[in-house]
Amino acid sequence: MPEYKAPIRDIQFVLHEVLDSEKRYAELRGDEDVNRELIDAIVEEGAKFCENELSPINRSGDEEGCGFDNGAVTTPTGFKEAYKKYVEGGWPSLSSPEDVGGQGLPYSMGIVMSEMMGTANWSWGMYPGLSHGAINTVEAHGTQEQKDVYLSKMIEGTWTGTMCLTESHCGTDLGLLRTKAAPNADGSYAITGTKIFISAGDHDMAENIVHIVLARLPDAPKGTKGISLFIVPKFSAKEDGSVGEANRVTCGSIEHKMGINANATCVMNFDSSKGFLIGAPNRGLNCMFTFMNTARIGTALQGVAAAEGSFQGSLAYAKDRIAMRSLSGPKSPDKDADPIIVHPDVRRMLLTQKAFAEGGRALTYFLAEKADIAFMSKDDEAAKEADDLMAFLTPIAKAFCTERGFESANEGVQVFGGHGFIREWGMEQIVRDTRISMLYEGTTGIQALDLLGRKVMLTQGQLLKNFTKVVHKFCKDNADNEAIAHLVEPLVKLNKEWGDITTQIGMKAMQNQDEIGAASVDYAMYSGYVTFAYLWARMAKVAADKIAEGSDDAFYKAKLQTADFYFKRILPRTRTCVETILNGGLDTLMDMEEDNFGFY
């Protein structure tokens, strides 16, 4: 099993040298309390927790899985103990406001911790991770009484939270959901229905679980306009903050899954469970979408974690495993064969993993920077600009990072050869665990439709222009930078082409709206490759500047080399995307009669 080592040097590089987080935090908070020394201390302590507590129980948790007995879920050996240490360390409250019991650190610091936890042990990280959506919902839309009862407990980690949205017959189409909410005489509601695919829906790690549930009021209109949101705790809350009676919320079963076996994916039954309306009636989806971007960023992190974890395992193995001789002559003449890292194709796979892991880290941290500004800035214009960029880039990050993370995980199995297919080496677990990331928070196709249909076409391309202006400014500022000229020149062309192909899709869509669906996934992948190219060019500039200043740190040289690899070996994939977007044609998808798809 790969032994996780937190990539502290690269995390610090992105935070401090690319994004200048210390300066941003000082501007947003109005103080200098969160300085580089504190940021690095948090990262280093978080790394120790992930390396020493979470990584060692990753494989054992996968093999043991969760237990289920008469409605009660038990987590694998060591999970409860690790969670207790997590709470004792104050990690759950890292990025919550101080006035509700948090530490008041920016959202982006929580993202760093989430990445490390996810790479070390994704299944474990989902238990506290699912609480963030519940916390954000109560914080944004709850009454003061609801905040007093639930927020502090979830923020300190004593209670955890879930989001109960999906039902067996509706999936992503939430307008079809049937869970009912009947008014009670005391102002509460009786929630009745069944939700599926509820991650961490039940477990033994916290004393209470606060479910955020979508349901319909008796007089609700049909479709998405008739959905309300409710707080439904597993146990009622007493006035002193302790747990009271069970609330007729039960786990009917846990799913038997392809991966993330150590996280309980539950079927949750609500049988006239007492719930409390949060937000306005019939405005449940509006409340839910206030945190959807951050939820999707969290899922994008799973792709980053898969790329990083598989890269670490592949690199260690490639340095140690010997097989064949280099075609250009022996590289380890004292051994019976050369380490496989000398072979070009193995290096292709390793560099692909490295490029996607480090590019994904840059993108998710860049998005977290925008979230910091959107959430904390007192400058309304700056907050709006950041929120718009986040809205545009989030579906790209979610779709692209998860797809490329899965690709990286598969490359990890390939580097190991036959050993990669064997459980004890741990590489196949990464493949199984990360496969779900392309389904969570909306499939790749749903993200692509959101990007092209809603974020681009419905804004007449404005959200796209907002970002291409950012890329254009970077290219203009570095037009005479000889060190990265070979990166800036193709980036300029791609940035222009992005707008051109968008216009062509829009023209076709005026004749038939299905053109958007036909082009959307290839468009999302194209957008991901170009976005990564911008971030790799930014990272390359920082590295080139450091080298020009006299630094002989091999880290910077490796950054430049990885950027070159990305531009020469991965970015050309955009050519295929363009061909399929513009020449694949809606007719190639829709002309075939349904009965002609298969002949048996």
Per-residue pLDDT of the chain (600 residues; tens, 9 = 90+): 789 999 999 999 999 999 999 999 999 999 999 999 999 999 999 999 999 999 999 999 999 999 999 999 999 999 999 999 999 999 999 999 898 899 999 999 999 999 999 999 999 999 999 898 899 999 999 999 999 999 999 999 999 999 999 999 987 788 889 999 999 999 999 999 999 999 999 999 999 999 999 999 999 999 989 999 999 999 999 988 899 999 999 999 999 999 999 999 999 999 999 999 999 999 998 888 766 778 899 999 999 999 999 999 999 999 999 999 999 999 999 999 999 999 999 999 999 999 999 999 999 999 999 999 999 999 999 999 999 999 999 999 999 999 999 999 999 999 999 999 999 999 999 999 999 999 998 999 999 999 999 999 999 999 999 999 999 999 999 999 999 999 999 999 999 999 999 999 999 999 999 999 999 999 999 999 999 999 999 999 999 999 999 999 999 999 999 999 999 999 999 999 999 999 877 889 999 999 999 999
Please, which residues bridge with residue 29 across strands?
Answer: none
> Taking the model in full, what pTM does it have?
0.97
Single-letter residue type at 130: L
- 163 near 234, Cβ under 8 Å? no
For residue 538, the one-letter residue type is R
Q: Which residues are catalytic?
A: 441
The identity of residue 231, as a single letter, is I
Query: What are the φ/ψ torsions at residue 563 (nearest 5 degrees)?
Result: -60, -45
How far apart are the C-alpha atoms of 135 and 152, rounded to whole Å?
A: 9
In total, the chain counts a number of residues equal to 600
Best CA proximity match to 225, nearest among 281, 172, 185: 281
Residue 445, SS3 per DSSP:
helix
Please tell me what DSSP assigns to residue 22.
H
Burial class from Cβ neighbours inside 10 Å (0-12, 13-18, 19+) for residue 56 reads middle
| Whether domain 8-288 has CATH 3.30.465.10 | no
CA atoms within 13 A on the CB side of 172: 11
Of the candidate CATH numbers 1.20.140.10, 1.10.150.240, 3.30.565.10, 3.40.50.920, the domain formed by 292-442 belongs to 1.20.140.10
d(CA 469, CA 260): 40
Q: Which residues pair with 232 in a beta bridge?
A: 211
